[in-house]
Structure 1
Amino acid sequence: MNVSFNWLNDHLDLSDYSIQQLDDLLTFAGVEVEGISASGVPSDKIVVAQVKEAVQHPDADKLKVCKVDAGEGELRQIVCGAKNYKVGDKVPCALPGADLGGGFVIKEGKLRGVESLGMLCAAGEIGLIDMEDGLMILPEDYEIGKPLVEIFSSDTIIEVEVTPNRPDLLSHTGMARELSALTGKERKPFEIPSAGTAAAGDFIKISAADRCPYYTGVKISGVKVGDSPEWLKTKLEAIGLKPINNVVDITNYVLHELGHPLHAFDAAKISGNLDIRLAKDGEEFNALDGGKLKLTEDDLLISDDAGNALALGGIMGGEDSGVNEATTDIVLESAYFTPSFIRRSSRRTALSSDSSYRFERGSDPQSVLAASALAAKLIVEVAGGTIEGDTLIAGEAPVLTAPVKLDIAKLEQLMGGSITLDEAKSILTKLGLTEGANDEWEIPSFRLDLVRHIDLVEEIARVHGLDKVESRFLGSYVEESDVDKAYDFQMKVKQQLAALGFYEAQTIKLIAESSNDNTVAQMKDALPLRPLMDGDLIKVALPLSEDHAVMRPSLVPGLVAVAARNIRQGKKALRFFEMGRQFRNAGGGKAKDLESDSVAILISGDKAPIHWSKKQPDVTDLYDLKAVISALLPQAKIQLKKQDREGYILCANVLADDKPIGAFAQLSPARCRELDSTKPIYVAELELAKLQQLASGLDKVEDLPHFPGSSRDAAMEAPATLENAAIEQAIKKHNEMLLVDYHCFDVFTDPTGEKLAADKKSIAYSFLYRSPDRTLKAKEVDEAHQKLLDTLQKKLGVSYR
């Protein structure tokens, strides 16, 4: 909402407060200030000028060379591209040196070779609202050479974000009331005429009282619709509203003055009486903004006896019933609409207006008559006409507030004695509350958020200032909890993955039970940490849609869906991870539900961006993903132990120091084709609790070796089905004290069987031996190495080449 500083001064003298001070007051009171901007003419070098001559530019069809009188005693030449002016018109002229804002300073120069000594301006270019396309045409009686800052008043606009529980602040009166309490200044008297009331009779019928319990109408005849007076235009333009006509402008003025929406109907377009009813299913409505809607039985209409849809209740008027220049008689609507229904209808129809914004947050039902009376009075003043009789009323204004008792003892305790009771009562009074007997306070109808004792204390505290409440306790040391440790570890893992080039994804915890688009084809292929059993899936009792029917048993489906969207956007390299919770029944629903936190990792595509030095970019493989897992647990030995799973290839359990921590797999080629991927996609899912357990403790730093090591290589011929993990397991169990490192550096197979049997493979290992306290002799190394080879041959049945 935009708040005009000049408009606020109609209610409150804030002349001794700077804009920055007001910003601080509102911010610390819980009203967010999103921006502050100045409106009005920005420079005193923008003056009234008259066009004396305009000829075609010799080298540009769309430009004219003008001679203008800017009150300097001689004509000034300016090149202009606008088309809406003629010789003799008075227009704004920015002289050289005029700062139009944003660092745009007018200078003398040339346009297409012709000298231009200034700039003729549109309204929007000098801080005013554009009313026409092109230059701003000024009234004929404006004095030539007079700075526009002396003609158009300047203002400061404060843009505030009002929380949904404070609709009372959605007006200048409400904001003035708030600032009165914050500054301690008294508000200026603001007279609102009283409205005579009469029963609506047959003219107003409420057929949907649950949606509209209170509706009023005022008939005004003989109005003359036209331009609004300058004071009204100035106020509306200051807050960013474009004046339309005097009747509509008054309704907008009262909306931003009192915070209650109004609507004016052309009485000639109403056939008979008004009926506030529910729409018929499929009924059409032509909105004031030009949109055409098909309504449902959940939408509220203001209609007439002929069934014409005059307005969508509380949201927007109809295109066919609005006020225009031909209107002479009007019906002024002021009503209270139930917030929840307005909110629902506004969301469904995608129609939002200043009216719906206020009604859906809860307008003041007791301000219905006041807003109507003020608007009727102002319409008669600016548009003429006569108010026909009393205000017609149907229904009753609901009473939505009740007295709240202020607990004095609790107030003293919570405020720490920083405020006296009289000061606290003064704050509540300035906020519009009325003191009753026995410490009870009458809550005004515009403060629907005040329902408990603590609400009153909160109001006192935020107006008094929390900085004035002294702290009674010093911070004390608290042991780090398990929750803290888990959070810190998860953040560390996220930072590690981000440093490795991965992007974090966040997907919804609800997924489809089976889908061929956004998730893996079947839930059993969702790569859970252990295979799913019948009944393991936790289904939502009342899902919002089929796509949100199951609590995810794995993070992988969501991550695969993220990859699919990026592939279809042309992404060549995929690096994603997601950290979150997964859900399943334990033992097919026979035990309690299990929830566990995991991190899922997906990698695919090019290892590096395409470069001229390489004809073909390297493609990521399973070892790249294994390297990522190793980076998360640098002190652990990571192994992938094969574990077949339907729907995947290259499936494995992830082991860290022989302890299972998760699962790994490559998506099947068929699944990759469904995702439009031409590259293999690898995924892994790791249990965070096990990762944290393995990563806990101090990282030990080993001294550099003092003595040299000696390496030996061995090429083993082994069955093709022998896993590398089995070889590493056998080496580890051999427990050779001198062996400090080993790794596989070559694998050879020959499917043809010419150089090596087809059911065999050759694996080459390098072994490093070292003693911590002496230099080893070659004989010692050879003996240790031979013992290791003998053990591998005996346990694994390998032979050496």
Structure 2
Amino acid sequence: MNVSFNWLNDHLDLSDHSIEQLDDLLTFAGVEVEGIEQKGLSTKLVVVAQVKEAVQHPNADRLKVCQVDAGEGSLRQIVCGAQNYKVGDKVPCALPGADLGGGFVIKDGKLRDVESKGMLCGASEIGQVDTVDGLLILPEDSVIGLPVVEMFESDTIIEVEITPNRPDLLSHTGMARELSALTGKARKPFDQPSLETSDAGDVIKLSAPERCPLYTATKISGVKITDSPEWLQTKLEAIGLRPINNVVDITNYVLHELGHPLHAFDAAKVDGALDIRLAADGEAFNALDGGEIKLAEEDLLISDAAGNALALAGVMGGAESGVTETTTDVILEAAYFTPSFIRRSSRRTALTSDSSYRFERGTDPQAVLNSAAFAAKLIVEIAGGTIEGPTAVAGEAPVLTQPVTINVTKLDQLMGGSITLDAAKEILTKLGLTEGSNDSWEIPSYRLDLQRHIDLVEEIARVHGLDNVESRFVGAFVDESAVDKAYDYQLKLKHQLAALGFYEAQTIKLIAEHSNDNMVAQMCDALPQRPLIDGDLVKVALPLSEDHAVMRPSLVPGLVAVAARNIRQGRKSLRFFEMGKQFRNAGGGKAKDLEAESLSLLLSGTEAPVNWANKAPNITDLFDIKAVVAAILPKAKVQLKERKRDGFVLAADVLADGKPIGAFAQMTPARCRAIDANNPVYVAELDLAKLQQLATGIDKVDPLPQFPGSSRDAAMEAPLTLENAAIENAIKKHNENLLVNYHCFDVFTDATGEKLDADKKSVAYSFTYRSADKTLKAKEVDKAHQALLDFLAKSVKVTFR
């Protein structure tokens, strides 16, 4: 909601409070200030100037070179593109250094090679409303050189976000009432007019009293529909509303002044009595904003005796019954509607308005007649006409508040003795409450949120200021919980992956059922280690769409979708990760649903973006994803152990120190083509709990070696089916003390069988030996190396070339 500072000053004098002070007061009282906007000018460098000469620009058809008198004793040259002025007109002139807002500061410059020392301004450029295209032509009697800020009223607009429990703040009266309590300033008196009332009789038929407990109608005859007076237009424009005509503007003004919505009907378009009834299923309604809408039986309509729909109650008026320039008689509606039904109709029809925003949060039922009386008074004063007879009233205003007793002892405990009882009572009185007997307080009808003792304590605390309540507790040390440890580890892991060039993805937990085609089998201990079957899926009972039908049993489908979008945007190097929950039914629908945290990785394309120093980067392969896992588990031995998985070219279990921690797979060419990928796509899914367990402990740094090492290479001939993991496990099992490092640097196969049997492969390893105590001799290295080769030949049945 937009609040005008000038409008607030109609209710209480805030001249000694800056906007920054009001911002702090509202914020600490629980009213969120979302923005502050200055309307009008704040600089005196925009002055009244008279155009003395205007000649054609030598280099531009639509520009003129003007000589203007800005009261400086000499003429100033300014280039101008407007077309609506003539020599002799007086216009606003922004001198160099003038700040027109938004960082727009006027400077000396050139336009098409012609000097321009300032700018002639239109209305919008000095914070006013444009009525013509071009410059703002000032009155002929305007004083040349006078700062324009002295001619036009400036204002400050405070944009506030009001919580649903405080509808009483959705008006300038409500905000003034709040600021009166916060600042201690008294509100200015308000002359509340009244209306003569009578029973509705045959004027109003209340067919749905449970949805509209109170409805009133005031007829005003002989009105003249014209533009609103300047003061009214200024107030509405300040808060972002467009003036329409005097009667409609008055209803909008009363809405933002008192907080209660009103509506005016053209009486000539109302056939007989007003009927507040439920709509027929499928009944058509032409809204002022939204065209024809089909209504449901739960929607509340204002109609006439002929059944014509005049308005969707509390939401929006009808296109045919509104006030126009031909209107002479109006019927002014003021009512109280049950909030839940207004909210339901507004959501279902997708129609929202300032009225529905307030009605669905709850308006003050006791303010219905007061608002109608105030609006009727303004209509008579501004639009003319007379009020015809008494206001017809159907129903009764419900009483929604009741007295609340405050517990003085608990108040003192909660406030820490920081406020006296008299001071607390004064705060409640300023907020509009009335003290009764035995610590009981009468709640005003507009404060629907005050229902319990603690509500009154909260009001006292926020007005008194929570910073004035001393803390009685000192922070105590609490051991780190398992949740804390998991959070810290995951945050550290995210930083590691970001340092390795990965981007974090966050995808929705609901996926399409067919997305499971891209799923890697589950790895987490909490989830079943078997192929996915239909009963394993956790399905949504009432999905919003087919794309949100099941809870994701894997994070991989989401990453594949992210990769597809990035590929189609032209990205060549793909590195994504996501952490989150995956869901599965362990018993095929017969057991409880299970969920577990996992880390999913996706790599594809080039290892790094192409740049001047790396014009042809390598294409990512399976060893890159293994290297990533090894980087996040530096203390563990990482291996990939092949395991067939349907729907993937290559798949393997990811092992750390011989124990499974997840799965790895390469997508098939067909799936790669489906997402427009020209390179292999590799994915992995790892159990976060196991990763955290392996990473737990103190990281120790090995000292630099004091003695040199010696390396030996060995090429072994092995069966084609022998896994590299088997060789590494054998090396580890041999447990040679002098062996400090080893790695495979070459693999050779020959499908033709010419250089090597087709069912064999040659695997070359490099081994490094070192002693921590001395420099090894060649014989010692050879002896250790030969013992390792003999063990490998015996344990994994390899021969050495």
TM range, smaller chain: over 0.9
Q: Does 1:790 align with 2:786?
A: no
TM-superposition CA deviations, 1:381-428 (whole Å, max 9, x none): 111111122222333333333333322222121111111122112212
- Shift of the alpha carbon at 1:125? 0.2
Q: Is the 8 A contact 2:436 2:442 kept in 1?
A: yes
Q: Measured at CA, do residues 429 and 45 of structure 1 come closer, stay the same or move farther in structure 2, by a change above 3 Å?
A: same
Instruction: Output the amino acid matched with 1:764.
Output: A
Q: Measured at CA, do residues 356 and 199 of structure 1 come closer, stay the same or move farther in structure 2, by a change above 3 Å?
A: same
TM-superposition CA deviations, 1:484-503 (whole Å, max 9, x none): 11111111111211222222
RMSD: 2.7
TM-superposition CA deviations, 1:638-673 (whole Å, max 9, x none): 111112221122211111111211111122222222
Tell me the residue number matched to 2:566: 566
Tell me the residue number matched to 2:403: 403
- The CA distance in 1 between the partners of 2:329 and 2:55, in whole Å, is 48
Q: Is the 8 A contact 1:314 1:359 kept in 2?
A: yes
Q: Is the 8 A contact 2:219 2:388 kept in 1?
A: yes
TM-superposition CA deviations, 1:126-184 (whole Å, max 9, x none): 01222333222445565555433222122222222222222211111111111111122
Q: Is the 8 A contact 1:525 1:647 kept in 2?
A: no
**Greater Cα shift, 392-401 or 786-795:** 392-401
Task: Please show how residues 509-548 of structure 1 align to structure 2 within 5 Å.
Answer: 509-512=509-512, 514-515=513-514, 519-521=515-517, 530-531=529-530, 532=532, 535-548=535-548
- The CA distance in 1 between the partners of 2:540 and 2:608, in whole Å, is 42
- The CA distance in 2 between the partners of 1:305 and 1:350, in whole Å, is 27
- Shift of the alpha carbon at 1:43? 3.0
Q: Measured at CA, do residues 506 and 199 of structure 1 come closer, stay the same or move farther in structure 2, by a change above 3 Å?
A: farther
Tell me the residue number matched to 2:499: 499
Task: Please show how residues 200-215 of structure 1 align to structure 2 within 5 Å.
Answer: 200-215=200-215
Aligned residues: 797
**Greater Cα shift, 90-99 or 738-747:** 90-99
Q: Secondary structure at the match of 2:22?
A: helix
Q: Measured at CA, do residues 590 and 728 of structure 1 come closer, stay the same or move farther in structure 2, by a change above 3 Å?
A: farther
- Shift of the alpha carbon at 1:637? 0.8
- The CA distance in 2 between the partners of 1:452 and 1:669, in whole Å, is 66
- Shift of the alpha carbon at 1:197? 2.4
Tell me the residue number matched to 1:91: 91
Q: Is the 8 A contact 1:290 1:319 kept in 2?
A: no
Tell me the residue number matched to 2:741: 741
Q: Is the 8 A contact 1:744 1:766 kept in 2?
A: yes
Q: Does 1:778 align with 2:795?
A: no
- The CA distance in 1 between the partners of 2:203 and 2:755, in whole Å, is 102
Instruction: Output the amino acid matched with 1:94.
Output: A
Instruction: Output the amino acid matched with 1:565.
Output: R
Tell me the residue number matched to 1:128: 128
Tell me the residue number matched to 1:259: 259
Tell me the residue number matched to 1:359: 359
- The CA distance in 2 between the partners of 1:77 and 1:776, in whole Å, is 91
Tell me the residue number matched to 2:463: 463
Tell me the residue number matched to 1:622: 622
- The CA distance in 1 between the partners of 2:57 and 2:543, in whole Å, is 68
Q: Structure 1: where are the runs of 5+ without partners?
A: none
Q: Is the 8 A contact 2:523 2:661 kept in 1?
A: no
- The CA distance in 2 between the partners of 1:398 and 1:701, in whole Å, is 75
- The CA distance in 2 between the partners of 1:393 and 1:686, in whole Å, is 70
**Greater Cα shift, 247-256 or 113-122:** 113-122
Q: Structure 2: where are the runs of 5+ without partners?
A: none
- Shift of the alpha carbon at 1:606? 2.2
Q: Measured at CA, do residues 668 and 397 of structure 1 come closer, stay the same or move farther in structure 2, by a change above 3 Å?
A: farther
Q: Does 1:767 align with 2:763?
A: no
Tell me the residue number matched to 1:188: 188
Instruction: Output the amino acid matched with 1:251.
Output: T
- The CA distance in 2 between the partners of 1:41 and 1:534, in whole Å, is 67
Instruction: Output the amino acid matched with 2:13.
Output: D
TM-superposition CA deviations, 1:525-567 (whole Å, max 9, x none): 6787632356333333444444333222222222222222323
- The CA distance in 1 between the partners of 2:212 and 2:436, in whole Å, is 31
TM-superposition CA deviations, 1:197-239 (whole Å, max 9, x none): 2333344334444544433222111111222222222222322
- Shift of the alpha carbon at 1:296? 4.6
Task: Please show how residues 384-395 of structure 1 align to structure 2 within 5 Å.
Answer: 384-395=384-395
Identity across the alignment (%): 77
Instruction: Output the amino acid matched with 1:255.
Output: L
- The CA distance in 2 between the partners of 1:97 and 1:777, in whole Å, is 83
Q: Measured at CA, do residues 289 and 82 of structure 1 come closer, stay the same or move farther in structure 2, by a change above 3 Å?
A: farther
TM-superposition CA deviations, 1:580-600 (whole Å, max 9, x none): 122223344555442221111
Q: Does 1:310 align with 2:310?
A: yes
Tell me the residue number matched to 1:29: 29
Instruction: Output the amino acid matched with 2:630.
Output: S
Task: Please show how residues 559-598 of structure 1 align to structure 2 within 5 Å.
Answer: 559-589=559-589, 591-598=591-598
Q: Secondary structure at the match of 1:380?
A: helix
- The CA distance in 1 between the partners of 2:565 and 2:283, in whole Å, is 39
TM-superposition CA deviations, 1:15-48 (whole Å, max 9, x none): 2222222221111111122222322233334344
TM-superposition CA deviations, 1:675-711 (whole Å, max 9, x none): 2222222111111111111111101111111211111
Instruction: Output the amino acid matched with 1:336.
Output: Y
Q: Secondary structure at the match of 1:438?
A: coil
- The CA distance in 1 between the partners of 2:560 and 2:395, in whole Å, is 57
- The CA distance in 1 between the partners of 2:669 and 2:209, in whole Å, is 61
Q: Secondary structure at the match of 1:261?
A: coil
Q: Measured at CA, do residues 283 and 592 of structure 1 come closer, stay the same or move farther in structure 2, by a change above 3 Å?
A: closer
Q: Is the 8 A contact 1:42 1:127 kept in 2?
A: no
**Greater Cα shift, 140-149 or 331-340:** 140-149
Q: Measured at CA, do residues 794 and 238 of structure 1 come closer, stay the same or move farther in structure 2, by a change above 3 Å?
A: same
Q: Is the 8 A contact 2:269 2:320 kept in 1?
A: yes
Q: Is the 8 A contact 1:42 1:126 kept in 2?
A: no
